Amino acid sequence: MTEDFLHYLWKFGLLEPSLTLTTGEACQIINPGTHNTHAGPDFLNARIRIDDTLWAGNVEIHISASDWYRHEHQKDDAYDNVILHVVYVEDKTVKRKSGEAIPSLEISGKFDNLLLRRYQTLMDNKSWIPCASLIGSVDRITRNSWLDRVLVERLEKRTKEINERLEFNKGDWSETFYQVLARNFGFRVNALPMELLARSLPLNILAKHKDQPEQIEALVFGQSGLLSAKSRDSYFLKLKSEYDFLKKKYLLENMDAHLWRFLRLRPSNFPTIRLSEFAALIHHSSHLFSKILSIELVTELAELFQCQASEYWDDHYSFGKLKKGKTKKLGQAGINLILINTVIPFLFAYGKQKGNPEFVDRSLKFLEQLSGESNALIRQWHELGMNTRSAFQTQSLLELKKEYCDRRRCLHCAIGARLVRSNW
């Protein structure tokens, strides 16, 4: 037995209709209250009829009544207005600070045992997701409406992260966007060093050199630590000379080069190439965040991120190592990932903070217009019949897997909750 399951029974009204307290009074659930996922009682503002008296207040749920004392609720004022203690087993009488016993409802044997069996089957399932063989039986309306909600949860989580960083940057949206953009330009493998680079190289310094692409590239490569090595390569020496001067001018401290990962990456994804592309983006996109706020077409948005590494990298992947010539530029899949993971969360967060639903709606519209990610995880969803047409759906499925399926939070998921109540 788990408290999650008891919460589920209470929330969805799955207890038998005729209930009596452990002290013999009739108990009728008028309104179970609002499920509280934060600190304090489990359900808030419930309405319970005990015999002929209607009570309004909070409800706390435990497996054993003695858990009240184990969790030390008797010391917490937030539990003073609990009107009903719902327990699977009452092994102890629970009292308020005043010494008055709190009404107790023991629910062992007061629900259909099939519900528990179905729940345990999901919990014991070792498949890729607990409901892998059953999800197709859930109606499309339930699935789609739940995925809509999960997507908003994902964006709200990103909004919280953005707001924390925004506070650190004293409300500077452009600087905050630049830092998160840099992180996502590292495409997971080099996300951390890209973020550290952006934090060590403020946007206002780069802005002073926006018309001098070579100086921007020198600042980016210099701060990365990749100019600290020894090389006779003429372009390397040129960048190093520029950087040495700018480093002293701005009192900069470069990173350690060992933070960058090259191993098992395709040469086109080497940090050297990404850094040059990032420098090109900075050069061509002054006031980038302001431009993003003014754009209403996703195609125009994508055009902002069409960046190409400098000419030197046409026939190099590393300094001083000549390779067959090929222009290096960020591909459409990479641009889409930048839009999905950086631009759209920022539009959503900006709209939320400014109280402007236009930006929130635009972020969701852009997700519906963008192609979704194509990776092993999404392909596994497709095998279960959960097909996707856009990034709106792929982002929802990624969040569903991470926050619900992997954590076995089936009863908090509309799909899992429906399956526990269904015959199969």
The predicted-structure confidence for 224-271, as pLDDT tens digits, reads as follows 999 998 999 999 999 999 999 999 999 999 999 999 999 889 988 999
Quick: pLDDT tens for 290-322. 999 999 999 999 999 999 999 999 999 989 888
Q: Quick one: pLDDT band at residue 98, thresholds 50, 70, 90?
A: confident
Looking at the chain, the whole-number percentage of residues with pLDDT higher than 90 is: 89
> Given a cut of 80, is residue 325 above it in pLDDT?
no
Q: Under a CB-based contact definition with an 8 Å cutoff, are residues 287 and 254 in contact?
A: no
State how far the Cα of 278 lies from the Cα of 275, in Å rounded to an integer: 5
Q: What pLDDT was estimated at residue 267?
A: 87
Q: What pLDDT was estimated at residue 365?
A: 97
Quick: pLDDT tens for 336-355. 999 999 999 999 999 999 99
State how far the Cα of 42 lies from the Cα of 5, in Å rounded to an integer: 13
Q: H or E element: which one contains 116?
A: helix 113-124
Q: What pLDDT was estimated at residue 320?
A: 86
Mean model confidence pLDDT for the chain:
95
Kindly state the tokens that stand for 78: 């937030």
State how far the Cα of 366 lies from the Cα of 59, in Å rounded to an integer: 42
Q: Please list the alpha-helical segments (H only) found in 262-307.
A: 271-284, 288-294, 298-303
Q: What pLDDT was estimated at residue 227?
A: 96
State how far the Cα of 35 lies from the Cα of 225, in Å rounded to an integer: 51
131 residue type, one letter: C
Reading phi first (left if > 0) and then psi (alpha if -120 to 50, else beta), residue 16 is in beta
Quick: pLDDT tens for 195-236. 999 999 999 999 999 999 999 999 999 999 999 989 999 999
Q: Quick one: pLDDT band at residue 97, thresholds 50, 70, 90?
A: confident
Q: Under a CB-based contact definition with an 8 Å cutoff, are residues 11 and 32 in contact?
A: yes
State how far the Cα of 51 lies from the Cα of 20, in Å rounded to an integer: 9
Q: What pLDDT was estimated at residue 175?
A: 97
* DSSP count for the chain of H helices, then E strands: 18, 9
Q: Pairing state of beta strands 316-318 and 34-35?
A: unpaired
Quick: pLDDT tens for 156-190. 999 999 999 999 999 999 999 999 999 999 998 99
Q: Which backbone phi and psi does 12 adopt, to 5 degrees?
A: -100, 10
Quick: pLDDT tens for 15-51. 999 999 999 999 999 999 999 989 999 999 999 999 9
> Given a cut of 80, is residue 328 above it in pLDDT?
yes
